[in-house]
Structure 1
C-alpha cells in the first residue's frame, strides 16, 4: 500500500498531465473527467462526486459532494478559477472534518499552471522530504 505522501505525489503528477494537455479555462467538470481517465489508467481507485452528509445534533441537515475521493483516504477538490481563495480552502477543510479523512488536495486549473494546496483535517507539522537545502527546511 502506498503512503499518503506517495499517493499525493501521484495525484499531483496526474494533475500536471491533465493541465499540460487541456490548458486552463475549461469548467471544473472537464478537469474532473480528465483526472478520472488518468487515475483509471494509473490503476488508482477513486470515486467521483463523493457524497458528504452534514449533521447537526444527530440530524442530517445537508449534503455536499467532494469532487474526488482517492483510495478512500484523500479528498481532491477541483477549481477552475483565476486565483484560489480562503473560502476554497475552508470548503476542503470542512469536507475533511465531515468525513474524518485526514488529507486533502485543492487543485486549481484556472491559471497558467496548476495551483496546488495540501490541507489537513488536523494540523500536522510536516517536514518536506525533498528540501534542497537541509538548513532551509519547509514546514506545513
Structure 2
C-alpha cells in the first residue's frame, strides 16, 4: 500500500476544516468559509499563506494573468475551498493547474456546500 503524501500535515489541515464545518455548517458563501479557515488555521498554529498570487509562464514569458489558490499550507500543500453542491471535474482541474503552477505535489479541495457532511478530495501530482 502506498504511503499517504504529507499525512500529518493533511491531518492537521483537515482537522481545521472539520471544525469550521462543525461550527458553521453548510449554506454560507465561500468568502465566509475563507475567513473562518484563516482564523482556525491561525488559532491552531498551522503555517499558511492565504490567497497568494501565483505567477504563470508561457514559453519563458511571464504572463499578466495570475492564479490565486485559497491557501498554501506548510509551504507545500495547495488548499482550495468551495461552497457548492458537489466537487466537479472543473474544480479538480483547477487544483491540478495550481499544482502545475507551484510544482507542489499535493492539493486538497474542501467543499463546505455539501450536505450532510464536509466533502473533500486529495489531488496528488
TM-score, structure 1 as length reference: 0.82
Who is 2:35 aligned against?
Answer: 33
Q: Report the equivalent of 1:114.
A: 118
Q: Which runs of 5+ in 1 are unaligned?
A: 122-140
2:6 and 2:44 mapped to 1: Cα distance? 16
The 1-side partners of 2:75 and 2:52 are apart by 10
Instruction: Report which of the two structures shows the higher radius of gyration computed on alpha carbons.
Output: 1
Could you say what secondary structure the match of 1:50 adopts?
coil
Two-structure CA RMSD over aligned residues (Å): 1.1
Matching residue within 38, 43, 57 for 2:59: 57
Tell me which residue corresponds to 1:77. 80
Runs of 4+ in 1 over 2 A off after TM superposition: none
Q: Distance in 2 between matches of 1:111 and 1:120?
A: 22
Aligned to 1:47: 49
Number of residue pairs matched by the alignment: 119
TM-score, normalization by structure 2: 0.91
Q: Which runs of 5+ in 2 are unaligned?
A: none
